[in-house]
Structure 1
């Protein structure tokens, strides 16, 4: 069939043109569950796909649009096309006000054939006039031109304005000055439809007359005359009161689309779009709330890796470096004065091993401060394994050396006096054996761990943060980077270390009052074990709680 009323899909090329004009690459659609609107929405999706524009979502509602509007808010819809009747438009925009989907960050596209005051609240609408004025401010409408604005003579021999004056005169005579019947706005289309039929029939009569056929012989089974009428309608072209009247092969009206914008409660004409020539002509510039430029079509998410601050990283590494230098100095001191009786009585071998363990633990500070910004992300798994190996082995060397000291102090305090020379030889051998055993257990656990369930690099997204309080279009999402592994292996390793700490604590407590000439630093070692146990008990749980606070977490684990 043919119609002078433009198809509902005629708006879509204009919308897509505007999306491109304002550099919007993502839109959302909300529509009423009516067949005509579903068809329009599907066509808009198709047009957007051809233009490379993403349709974020298409939400449909029957009578209550609240859930649909909430869905738009959840999905960060910024450029929203609404396709529904005027009554539902009030409900949608009222709900948009409640969901804060209006203002400088949002642009709504609505249908242009509503009454000019369609947004005024009616009974049952839970929004005031002021609220509705706020939410509809700045929205765009698209509408096929219904009344020709040119002062040109139409096919009827009068201008569009003269026709409108006559139309109003007839309405005033029959209905009164303030009464406008339903379909009032579409009257020019109906008038031109009659002219289109008349011109098509007239053209058909001339064609049939040449073939000796009278149009009066038409019936619904006469395909020849029907086809001639259709051909004449397709060829129809004239200037009517609604503008130029011409049809596509499918019978749809070809018409200019008018673009308007709501400003302070009134519609301002922005321009026209000719789909045939792909020509967008502006009559006035759009007005953008506050910013003076089109808003973004989405919240721009900037991902940032949450890392240890450089100053903090350098500070702690400097402290660790001082500790390493101090440890090396103590090793040199022990070696230089190794023949002194006082040094010999403090188990120098244990001292060497303990200081090497200290150097390893302090060196791990560097590894725990590294991240994928400082090294290649592909090497992060190696970094995870290196951290575990270095810290675990170094801890076994450091704490194992102290453990052997209190262990021998405990044995000496509970055994009979033995030969000093033989005891010293046994102690050195046992020191190496015991610490080697601790390290072998570490190696066994870590090797099994890395073979069966190696660590991997994972990133967790934290809360969004505003870059600028005045610009809500850009937000930062912090990413937390960490090594992830099966919890079982952590439990095995920490369980083993925990037992070692508890046993060392027990031995330190048992030897708290022991005074031995052969181990002149046993009480100091016991105090050191107390400190290590207390610090491990504090830093372990706290570091798990503050894992999202990178600097604090780095400080606790190092």
Structure 2
């Protein structure tokens, strides 16, 4: 919320409901005619209860968008207790249809790297499956490509270190406990931070100041069957979001984003500051003159010039001018809202 406010975005968000005291599971932000829900649910079972609650409240369909970082295993909902959850699997999937998820694990769950080739070996993840003892868990599927790429990163760092000031014998006989200046270790660490390549787990690189492996966060779109489709990612290095065309992203919400002319009809026209100042001065001056005349007429109401005038018509004209000038000021202020 604070980041949105810094960018002059209007935020009217509130906690809708929570399953524990630690952190909210869902907040919603009204955006014109669309409600955007943001979910922070930590597990498959809790996420299922969240979907049921949204379904029972009627918060799903074209006017609602669910953003979540968690990607559930749909098979876990095959034999749920409806009395505990509050709905069935079919109703869960109705809410999940069109939901957007952002996570590093989406790379594995949507299988987007299964057929991508490693920059050097030209092998894919599917090519490497026979080399690994497979265990049917999503966690291992997530870490296998990372381990493979990490071995490559270390090998590339060692190779770069050898090519620098150090020879192979020095590296073979290196003992960390006997090294006081640690030049070889520092050189190896520096070369590891400089590693950058396209691997099986995505773009492989490190954050230079912390030495932490970086991952681009990938965006998936759920369909009515709970399947994920890869639609984009967030590039951390360039702070840039890359997505597929709008008609793919908006598939479950009508197939396409609103046309430009449909958006522009909500735009309000603005006038220049110079025009505002000139109109305000004229309107204020007109109101001031009218008030002076009214006060003068009241104070000198017995004066012959005042008596001989058609009082009613004069006052009508004067008050008409006041109303007109006041309208101009109000309209100018309204144009700035």
Distance 2:117 2:70 in 1: 24
CA deviation string 1:128-178 (max 9, x = no partner)? 1122011111101223435535543444452333124654xx32xxx5xxx
Tell me how far 1:119 sits from its aligned partner.
6.1
Unmatched tracts of structure 2, length 5 or more: 259-265, 267-322, 330-337
- 1:139 matched to which residue of 2? 99
Tell me how far 1:120 sits from its aligned partner.
5.6
1:289 to 253, 257, 261: 253
- For structure 1, list consecutive stretches of 5 or more residues without a partner in the other structure: 1-27, 29-44, 295-299, 301-372, 380-558
Q: For residues 290 and 118 of structure 1, do their structure 2 counterparts lie closer, same or farther at Cα, with a shift above 3 Å needed?
A: farther
Q: Which residue of 1 aligns with 2:86?
A: 126
CA separation in 2, counterparts of 1:50 and 1:248?
26
Q: CA RMSD in A?
A: 4.6
CA distance in 1 between counterparts of 2:5 and 2:169 reads 51
CA pair 279-130 structure 1, distance change in 2 beyond 3 A: closer
Partners of 2:166 and 2:184 within 8 A in 1: no
| Matched residue, 1:160 | 125
CA distance in 2, matches of 1:58, 1:227: 49
Q: How far did residue 217 of structure 1 move?
A: 1.5
1:235 corresponding residue in structure 2: 194
- Give the corresponding residue for 1:354: none
Correspondences of 1:337-348 after superposition (within 5 Å): none
Distance in 1 (alpha carbons) for counterparts of 2:243 and 2:255: 23
- The 5 Å alignment of 1:475-554 reads none
Aligned partners of 2:162 and 2:168 also within 8 Å: no
CA distance in 1, matches of 2:7, 2:29: 25
Provide the residue aligned with 1:270 in structure 2.
231
CA distance in 1, matches of 2:78, 2:9: 33
Distance of 1:280 and 1:182 partners within structure 2: 26
Q: CA contact under 8 A between 2:197 and 2:203: conserved in structure 1? A: yes
Does 2:66 match 1:111? no
1:262 CA displacement: 1.2
Report the counterpart of residue 390 of structure 1 in structure 2. none
Contact 2:218 2:233 in 1 (8 A): yes
> Is residue 244 from structure 1 mapped to residue 203 from structure 2 by the alignment?
yes
8 Å CA contact 1:256–1:275 kept in 2: the answer is: yes
Contact 2:47/2:72 (8 A) holds in 1: no
Deviations 1:501-523 (A, max 9, x none): xxxxxxxxxxxxxxxxxxxxxxx
- How far apart are the structure 2 equivalents of 1:113 and 1:288? 18
Equivalent of 1:97, from 45, 50, 55? 55
Match of 1:57 among 13, 28, 35: 13
- The alpha-carbon deviation at position 80 of structure 1 amounts to 2.5
Counterpart Cα distance in 2 of 1:133 and 1:106: 14
Report the number of matched residues: 256
SS in 2 for 1:98: helix
Equivalent residue for 2:152?
195
The separation in 1 between residues aligned to 2:176 and 2:93, in whole angstroms, is 55
> How far apart, in 2, do the equivalents of 1:263 and 1:185 lie?
22
Deviations 1:229-270 (A, max 9, x none): 321111112332223312221334445443221121222232
- Contact conserved, 1:160 with 1:242, CA < 8 A, in 2? no
Counterpart secondary structure, 1:158:
coil
**Helix, strand or coil at the partner of 2:193:** helix
With normalisation by structure 2, the TM-score equals 0.57
Question: Which runs of structure 1 show a deviation greater than 6 angstroms over 4 or more consecutive aligned residues?
Answer: 73-77
Distance 2:27 2:220 in 1: 27
Q: Is 2:54–2:95's contact at 8 Å kept on the other side of the alignment?
A: yes
CA separation of 1:282 and 1:63: change in aligned 2, threshold 3 A: same
Match of 2:161 among 204, 213, 216: 204
Tell me, in whole angstroms, the C-alpha distance in 2 between the residues paired with 1:261 and 1:233.
Answer: 35
**Partner SS state of residue 152, structure 1:** coil
TM superposition shift of 1:68: 4.8
